[in-house]
């Protein structure tokens, strides 16, 4: 581990879950209780106040410790963004369960492999999307939403201008959405 403070982050997804297992593991890794940032919030939430406080509090030379990788990041991409942030700020990162320590050469290698896999995955998605669009175009598909029947829109506009029907009634009778109706009013 790097020089400086050893800071911990513990998170559980629901109020019913307990933080004790993680806190005990963090203490075992040398984190003082006062330096453990704790929260009970789902990992999919972008806003995580305790994590944000930890990121603000951490200084160059500090080490951030978590029990498991999934406690820290919402996704591989988010984890990699955090690792890049730590690298820029000269903050080491340790995951106890996965035995990762970015202050070591092996830990850096593992995260570079994760970053490469994430970039590869992103590139593959882009390639598949382009290939799919090209194949669709070759079959004559233009893409996008199919155009609404012009006659149905004309009928909806006529009903609207008659002022006898509500928008809800017009959308039910014609199948033209409220947004399409308003867009065609101009």
Residues catalogued as catalytic: 13
Q: Kindly report the backbone phi and psi dihedral angles of residue 68, in degrees, each rounded to the nearest multiple of 5, phi listed first.
A: -140, 155
Q: Own/partner pairs for 145-153, CB < 8 Å, 24+ apart? A: 148/176, 148/177, 148/180, 149/175, 152/176, 153/180, 153/181, 153/184
Alpha-carbon distance of 21 to 65, in angstroms, equals 14
Name 10's bridge partners. Answer: 38
Tokens 């006062």, located at residue: 34
Determine the Cα–Cα distance for residues 28 and 45; give it in Å rounded to an integer: 28
Task: Count Cβ neighbours within 10 Å for each residue of 171-186 and write b for 16 or more, e otherwise.
Answer: beebebeeebbeeeee
């Amino acid at each position: 581990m790097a020089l400086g403070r050893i800071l911990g982050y513990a998170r559980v997804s629901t109020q019913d879950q307990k933080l004790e297992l993680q806190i005990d593991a963090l203490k075992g890794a040398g984190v003082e209780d006062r330096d453990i940032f704790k929260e009970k919030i789902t990992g999919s939430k972008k806003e995580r106040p305790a994590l944000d406080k930890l990121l603000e509090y951490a200084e160059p030379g500090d080490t951030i410790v978590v029990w498991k990788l999934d406690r820290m990041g919402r996704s591989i991409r988010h984890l990699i963004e955090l690792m890049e942030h730590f690298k820029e700020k000269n903050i080491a990162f340790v995951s106890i369960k996965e035995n990762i320590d970015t202050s070591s050469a092996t830990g850096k290698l593992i995260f570079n492999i994760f970053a490469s896999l994430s970039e590869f995955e992103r590139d593959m998605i882009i390639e598949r999307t382009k290939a799919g669009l090209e194949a669709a175009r070759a079959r004559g598909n233009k893409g996008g939403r199919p155009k609404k029947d012009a006659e149905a829109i004309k009928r909806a506009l006529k009903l609207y201008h008659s002022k006898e029907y509500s928008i809800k009634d017009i959308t039910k009778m014609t199948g033209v959405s409220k947004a399409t109706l308003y867009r065609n009013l101009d």
